[in-house]
Amino acid sequence: MGPSSGGRAWPQLAFAAVFGAFMGVVALGFILPIHWAEATAERWSREHPGFLLLVTATVPALGGLACGLINRLLTLSLRGHGVSMVLYAVARLQSRLPIRLALRQWLASTASIVTGGSSGPEGPIVTIGATLGSNAGVLAKQDREMVTTLVGAGAAAGIAAVFNAPIAGVFFALEVLLRDFSLRTLAPIVVASVLASATTQSLIGSRRPLFGVSPDVMETMRGLLTIGAAPAFVILGIACGLIGVIFIRSLRAAESLTEHSRVPKPLRPAIGGLALGLLGAGYIAASMKFGGSGMPVFMGNGYSLIERVTDPAFFTMSLGAAGESSGGQLGLVILVWLCLKIIATCLTLGSGGSGGLFAPGLVMGGLTGAAFGIAVKATGLLPQATPAHFALVGMAGAVAAMMHAPLSGILLVYELTQDYSLILPLMLTATVSTLVARGLERESVYTAELAVQGVRLGLRGDTSLLRRLTVRDVTLGPGVFVRPYDTADRLLILSERTSVEDFIVIGDDERYIGVIGGNELRVALIYREALNLLQVSEIMRTDAPTLTNADSLDIALERFNAGSVGALAVVDARGRVEGVLTRERLMRRYHEELERDA
């Protein structure tokens, strides 16, 4: 946002502020009915335990059926889950999102979540916010860049309102959706995110997010990351990275299986819901044999499970005085919960159900960290740490691994806990988990759906790749050289022999003089009968730019455009030609770098 754009920056910021406050109200309208339905279902399950098995087995199928019918009535040409649709629109549709996408996500996600589907409300509110931002920008006749920025602002505002995490909302929009950290984009998104969070917290009269983290877990967090503890968090990062990859591939396999099935599309979420319900009923039946009761922990958004594993008192009561044997049993139970959560989420979303991946990701990370923390506690190496500490850090690790977004994972959990002493373990674990996940699985849980459609996402600031590459990073072509006194018919012979249209003109001292491009050659062919009389010096261009090995590729691309040629000579300090850079070679090197950075 430079000086030239300063005049319109303030109206855009004011627009973003109003939109952010509006999104705070929208988020409450979406979330509160879900909370009410979940609380009602929980109370009903306690009051009517005899019907719990029947309800668990059937209700998810009904929710899936409702979800399928809603999707059928509100058809879209876009494919994928909500956030993937937003990414596709930003990449291919000039950030234009149909308003029915917001309505569909609202209704279908509500139907899926309140009936026990393993998904969360955060992904849908991101999609709803992005869609409303897109349409608000179009209605206000904003330019394409501002419409895209408002897409990010809506998504950031949604996360900020739901989690009371405005910083995480900003970085999710910049890191995952827009991939653009320019000031012109940053400022409106920050304003919208802050106003959304402030509006929501003012209306509900509380600073708590959707789910709370026990304050007890913070009492012994100080000084947790030391040199001695660092390897434990590195290992946790590796574990979270592996869990992220397992989940991404499992979800992709479930989606592929569903896509190739012969079941009518509107019925597919119902089949997934039925499978989930039967799994839940089996879990309840097995739990009853051991004196357990209540809804299956892997169904629904899983926030109650997160609160359980981030509370030190849970481990104190569960482990008791039995020591390592009790710890092993609890660790095994937590790993079973983890596996069931992965399966439940794949059944819900892989079958075409609706909902977000934030909540499942946080649950999986919390369970991974808790199981790892039990193992660490058994060793006695970190007596000041509890499994609850590792559960909190694992939440960031799993989210970062699934989304390939370490900053979003770090800041989300940091803002949930609001304790800076946690930031170092979060940074280490989330970074390692992202590196592991990207090393094993190129696509994130969002971009995997786009990759199937042949869509590759780069940075909106992709020129940064060209700036850090120089001409010497590209394998130059040898070039086809001619002299000023050569005749034009020699050009025709060389063109037929080498299949090139661009020739470099050099003098007897081997220094660069000029270039003959395809246009010049075609003009010469008009006078074909006089080619043996026409000299190179009469048709060559001396105004075409040249390059040196030290020039960056963005400069090279600018000179290609300025010179309107397909090849540029690369010269040394004495003006001698070292090789030829073509557009094709430049773009090939650029795509190689893009593949490496993906």
- Asked whether residue 309 falls in the same domain as residue 284, the answer is yes
Final residue in a domain of this structure, among 452, 472, 507:
452
Angle at 353 between CA 352 and CA 359, to 5 degrees: 125
Are 503 and 557 found together in one domain?
yes
User: Does 179 reside within a domain?
Assistant: yes
For residue 457, being part of any structural domain is answered with: no
What pLDDT is stored for residue 137 in this prediction? 92
Query: Does 150 lie in the same domain as 87?
Result: yes
**How confident is the model at residue 508, as a pLDDT?**
85
- 566: domain CATH number is 3.10.580.10
The total of structural domains in the chain comes to 3
Starting at the edge strand found earlier in the chain, the sheet holding 503-506 runs: 481-482, 503-506, 512-516
Q: 154 with 225, same domain?
A: no
For 208, the 3-state DSSP assignment is coil
Please check whether residue 566 is in contact with residue 582, taking contact to mean a CB–CB distance below 8 angstroms.
yes
Domain co-membership, 172 together with 23: yes
Classify residue 551: in a domain, yes or no. yes
Q: Are residues 551 and 469 in the same domain?
A: yes
Cα–Cα dist 95/561, whole Å = 27
Residue 377 included in any domain: yes
Domain with 552 in it: 463-597
State the burial class of residue 279 (Cβ atoms within 10 Å of its Cβ: 0-12, 13-18, 19+).
buried
| Domain end marker among 212, 245, 274 | 212
Rg value, the chain, Cα: 30
Q: Does 236 lie in the same domain as 188? A: no
Q: Are residues 250 and 189 in the same domain?
A: no
Residue whose C-alpha is closest to residue 342's, from 250, 233, 229: 250
- 358 lies in the same domain as 416: yes
Same domain, 143 and 292: no
Per-residue pLDDT 10s for the chain (598 aa) are 444 445 567 888 999 999 999 999 999 999 989 888 888 888 887 777 777 888 888 999 999 999 999 999 998 888 777 899 999 888 778 889 999 999 999 999 999 999 999 999 988 999 999 999 999 999 998 888 889 999 999 999 999 998 888 999 999 999 999 887 777 889 999 999 999 999 998 998 877 765 556 555 555 555 666 777 889 999 999 999 999 999 999 999 999 999 889 999 999 999 999 999 999 999 988 887 766 666 788 998 888 888 889 888 888 777 664 444 566 788 899 999 999 999 999 999 999 999 999 899 999 999 999 999 999 988 877 777 788 889 999 999 999 999 999 999 999 998 888 777 788 899 999 999 999 999 999 889 998 878 777 666 655 455 556 777 888 889 888 778 888 888 777 877 787 777 777 788 888 888 899 888 767 766 666 666 666 777 878 788 888 888 998 888 888 888 888 767 778 889 988 889 888 898 888 888 887 876 665 5
Residue finishing a domain among 452, 474, 506: 452
437 with 581, same domain?
Answer: no
CB atoms within 10 A of CB 121: 27
CA distance to 27, 127, 213, 345, 432, per residue, from 284 (Å): 33, 34, 27, 18, 37
Same domain, 282 and 408: yes
Alpha carbon 332 to chain centroid, angstroms: 31
Flag whether 190 is in a domain.
yes
3-state secondary structure (DSSP) of residue 552: strand
Cα–Cα distance measured from residue 251 to residue 43, given in angstroms and rounded to the nearest whole number:
32
Domain membership of residue 372 (yes or no) is yes
Per the CB < 8 A criterion, the answer to whether 585 and 477 are in contact is yes
- The answer to whether position 67 is within a domain reads yes
Residue 458 is assigned to a structural domain of this protein: no
Q: In CATH, what number is assigned to the domain containing residue 176?
A: 1.10.3080.10
